[in-house]
Amino acid sequence: MLEKTLKSTFGLNCNIETTKIKGLPLYMMSGRKFYKVTMGEISFVVVEISNKEKFGVVALKKQLVQYSEQSNLNVAYNFDGLTRIQRDSLISKGIPFLSMPDQIYLPFLGVMLNNNFKKIMQFSAERMMPATQCLFLYLLYHYDCDFVIKKQAADELGLTRTSITRASKQLNQMKLINEKTYGKETRMYPIAKGLEFYRMAKEYLINPVQKVIHAEVNDNKGLYIAGESSLSKHSMLASPQVDTLAVFKGDKTASSFIDIDSRWNEDLKLCRIELWKYNPSLFSKNGEVDPISLALSLSENDDERVQGELQTYLEEYKW
């Protein structure tokens, strides 16, 4: 896109080739790509800034001087996306930049600016959002497929176009999937399968349990066996005295429960109700929550027996 846009904007033939700049500190090279651009009799270097990188104009201004001195050429930064504030700040400091297709500020060549800015999605790469975890689990449990079509996943998970886009971008940022587009169809390719895929994503996964209450249950509709109650069905762990059930926090059933203090109501038959951040029904089988969500819901359980049986369950699960 860079070559095509520059050529059409300035009406000059454009040649772009990768290059290297020697004599720079590691932090000025790590994660960045360098290109030499030649247009007519003018040559300059483009430094591509990753969309994962946080940058400040003061630091970029100082680095610009070093890039220019080491390359003996004019230098411009290339950004995947800019906000209006970022663009105006770069201009105020006299920093040449490109942000395709509408923002070009090259004082040594020409300027083309547009006040239409695309929205830049920002989210943490440390933990998955609930929608991202749903998409991850969807990919994980489709282990017999090499890829999943994004629209199909969105429809089956009940995610909007915006939500599925944010979720796939976060998985991309975590380097858990690759995406390829064919016409109007976007395919998502997980980088691994089964237990290996889970282990690669483990540090990013969240506990699905938002809140725990104790309540009387007269109807199990919309509720799924969870916690130690579920684990006991697949291990040597004894069934707990109090049954654990899971329900989506936004479900009507969840709002109907009254939290009861079991210490003052010993005569009542109470259940331990987990209110989940995403709907356990999406991946449930035989009325139970899925294995990975179960493991995550028990991640804060310090009982060594529970963790031991859980590990065995996951290892013996038929992925």
For the chain, give every domain's residue range: 2-112, 130-204, 209-316
Does 166 score more than 90 pLDDT? yes
**pLDDT tens profile 117-146:** 655 555 556 799 999 999 999 999 998 999
Q: Are 150 and 142 in contact (CB under 8 A)?
A: no
Q: Are 97 and 51 in contact (CB under 8 A)?
A: no
102 confidence band (pLDDT: 50, 70, 90): confident
Higher pLDDT, residue 267 or 219: 219
Q: Is the pLDDT of residue 265 over 80?
A: no
- The arithmetic mean of pLDDT across residues 94-100, rounded, is 93
Q: Which two tokens stand for residue 219?
A: 């109807």
Question: What residue type is 84 in one-letter code?
Answer: R
Comparison of pLDDT for 21 and 5, the residue scoring more: 21
pLDDT, residue 53, reads 73
The whole-angstrom separation of Cα 61 and Cα 103 is: 18
- For residue 132, give Cα distances in angstroms to 93, 136, 138, 201, 314: 38, 6, 10, 11, 21
CB 136 within 8 A of CB 176: yes
Given CA atoms 120, 126, 129, 135 in this order, what sign does their dihedral have? Answer: positive
pLDDT at 275: 97
pLDDT (average), residues 47-58:
81
CATH of domain 130-204: 1.10.10.10
CA 258, 261, 266, 272 torsion: positive or negative? positive
Q: State residue 126's pLDDT score.
A: 78
Tokens representing residue 41 in the block: 């009799």
pLDDT at 93 over 60: yes
Distance CA(42)–CA(36), nearest Å, equals: 11
**pLDDT value for 267:** 63
